[in-house]
Amino acid sequence: MTCDLPTTVDELAACHLEARTRLLEMVDDLDDGQLLVPHLTIVNPFLWELGHVAWFHERWVLKHLGGADSLVPHADEFYNSADVVHDSRWRLRLPTREGTLKYLQQVQETVLERLHSQPLDADELYFHRLVIFHEDMHVEAFVHMRQTLGYAPARPCSQVLSVPAAGPCTGDVEFDGGQLSLGAHPDEPFSFDNEQWAHPVQVRPFALSRAAVTQAEFAAFVQDGGYGRRALWSSAGWSWCQAVGAQHPIYWRRGGGSTGCGWERRFFDRWLELEPDLPVHHVAWFEADAYCRWAGRRLPTEAEWEFAAGPSRHPWGDETPRPEHANLNLSRCGVVDVGAHAAGDTPEGLRQMAGNLWEWTATTFGPYPGFEPGPYQEYSAPWFGDHMVARGGAFATRTRHLRNTWRNFYQPMRADVLVGFRTANDL
């Protein structure tokens, strides 16, 4: 099965089946109590999230395109994330585990029947891609949700990484700046509404670090008292830092030998000695911003990030992503050294601009000029103004999503997600 952007009926069917296999592998080892999860502000009940995936397929392929009725009574009242507020999801009388899995299966069977019985016009192609990509995103969410809860790694990523060390990747790449066509072009096979459409942006000369900030580099910030120095933090960041009592990244603790910088990090359900050359991850935007100030640097804007990633579809060019290019697709259960995947470098020498981790930017998530919401109107517009843009993709991101214009977005206090950062400077 190709991991490229699906185009034909056979490719779409294969992607539907593969995405569902991966989704179920992310939860099939969990007992009923683990599926419900404790009531946390940043994690959904797994049982609700599974039903939401089925509902999303049903809404956009079966109901929107075909006018069918829901296969589950009250499905909209259970699973419409736009209407069902987060805290209420623990109080819903959801179908049982067996009922939820049956709902997933029935919806998928009906979706595949429609796929093979209807002409594959532009609408059919768009909405089949949309629901596949949505399911992929929830698989990625299950990875960081299991990390948040301290669950063991799921079956697709059940082994701790054992890969050759690649070491650091130091230095900057300097850019003269110029005019950038920021965003997706109308001939892009698929894009989300927040990428639409490409528009001219002037980028001033800047420098961008060749690789993401490492755990060793961030440990130096912690050791220097960075979490206690008000001058390093924005007002909102300092308020957050004080409110949560942050003194180091969320999944770190004191410990580790001579190679661990005096720290350990929690990897799902186990503690590992901190690996100096891995990129620092599970850090909030506020933490990344404070580190940059400490280092005499700043976060890149998303225009700078896209300018540096280049005008091709991927940082290395238009070639379909291969394993040597980037750490993607859960091919490894976690991040690799910042020096890895040299084959995926940009022509200027920037490394891992795709894969390994999403990267925070300095840009507040907002609409491009002339923005019009897509059919899935809840995807972008509700989050404009209070989320920060992240770029690049993580180790759990699917290859079929990748393109340099793709924008992710999280609230600046989110430290649970698969995000790191690299630094920039003016020239």
pLDDT band at 1 (very low <50, low <70, confident <90, very high): very low
CATH code, domain carrying 288: 3.90.1580.10
SS (H, E, C) the chain: CCCCCCCCHHHHHHHHHHHHHHHHHCCCCCCHHHHHCCCCCCCCCHHHHHHHHHHHHHHHHHHCCCCCCCCCCCHHHHHCCCCCCHHHHHCCCCCCHHHHHHHHHHHHHHHHHHHHHCCCCHHHHHHHHHHHHHHHHHHHHHHHHHHHHCCCCCHHHCCCCCCCCCCCCCCEEEECCEEEEECECCCCCCCCHHHECCEEEEECCEEEECCCCEHHHHHHHHHCCHHHCHHHCCHHHHHHHHHHCCCCCCCEEECCCCCCCCEEEEECCEEEECCCCCECCCCCHHHHHHHHHHCCCECCCHHHHHHHHCCCCECCECCCCCCCCCCCCCCCCCCCCCCCCHHHCCCCCCCCCCCCCEEEEEEECCCCCCCCCCCCCCCCHHHCCCCEEEECCCCCCCHHHCCCCCCEEECCCCCCCCEECCCEEEC
Q: Is residue 283 part of a domain?
A: yes
Q: What confidence tier does 332 reach under pLDDT thresholds 50, 70, 90?
A: confident
Domain final residue pick, 108, 126, 156: 156
Both tokens assigned to 29: 């080892």
Residues 77, 111, single domain; the answer is yes
pLDDT in tens, 236-256: 999 999 999 999 999 999 997
Which residues span the domain enclosing 77? 9-156
Residue finishing a domain among 156, 186, 207: 156
Cα 60 to the center of its chain, rounded Å:
22
- Please state, in angstroms and rounded to a whole number, the distance separating the CA atoms of residues 427 and 417: 31
Quick one: pLDDT band at residue 42, thresholds 50, 70, 90?
A: confident
pLDDT at 336 over 50: yes
- Same-domain check for residues 57 and 178: no
Q: Assess whether 129 and 194 both reside in one domain.
A: no
Instruction: Give the least confident one: 39-48, 116-125, 138-147.
Output: 39-48
> Over the range 29-52, which residues count as b (16 or more CB within 10 Å of their CB) and which as e?
ebeeeebbbeeeeebbbbbbbbbb
Query: Does 282 reside within a domain?
Result: yes
pLDDT of residue 414: 97
Both 257 and 385 in a single domain? yes
Question: What's the structural domain count of the chain?
Answer: 2
d(CA 48, CA 90): 8
- Interval 128-138 mean pLDDT: 98
Q: Are 16 and 108 in contact (CB under 8 A)?
A: yes
CATH number of residue 151's parent domain: 1.20.120
- Over residues 282-328, the pLDDT tens digits come to 999 999 999 999 999 999 999 999 999 999 999 999 999 999 999 99
Whether residue 42 is contained in a domain is answered as yes
Angle, nearest 10°, between helix axes 122-149 and 97-117? 160
Q: Is the pLDDT of residue 55 over 60?
A: yes
Note the pLDDT of residue 162.
Answer: 57
Residue 284 lies in a domain: yes
**Does 151 share its domain with 194?**
no
pLDDT over threshold 50, residue 106: yes
Q: What tokens were used for 69?
A: 């009725």
**Do 195 and 151 fall into the same domain?**
no
Give the phi and the psi of residue 16 in degrees, each rounded to 5: -55, -50
> Which amino acid is residue 148, in one-letter code?
T
Torsion 205-366-146-22 (CA) sign: negative
Amino acid at site 375: P
Confidence class for position 261, pLDDT limits 50, 70, 90: confident
Q: Are 54 and 70 in contact (CB under 8 A)?
A: no
258 assigned to some structural domain: yes
pLDDT value at 160 more than 80? no
- Dist. CA 179–CA 186, nearest whole Å: 19
**pLDDT (0 to 100) of residue 295:** 98
Contact of 171 with 209, CB cutoff 8 Å: yes
Q: Are residues 405 and 353 in the same domain?
A: yes
Asked if 80 and 179 sit in the same domain, the reply is no
Same domain? For 180 and 266 the reply is yes
Domain finish residue from 131, 156, 181: 156
- The mean-pLDDT minimum among 145-154, 161-170, 343-352, 413-422 falls in 161-170
Contact in structure between 335 and 395 (CB atoms under 8 Å) = yes
| Residues 301 and 396 both lie in one domain | yes
245 within some domain: no
* Whether 130 and 183 share a structural domain: no
Decide if 224 is inside a domain. no
Rounded mean pLDDT of the chain? Answer: 94
Q: Determine the Cα–Cα distance for residues 200 and 318; give it in Å rounded to an integer.
A: 22
Task: Answer yes or no: are the C-beta atoms of 193 and 379 closer than 8 Å.
Answer: yes
Overall average pLDDT of the 146-165 stretch: 77
The pLDDT, as a whole number, for residue 342 is: 97
Q: 246 lies in a domain?
A: no
Kindly state whether residues 294 and 336 are assigned to the same domain. Answer: yes
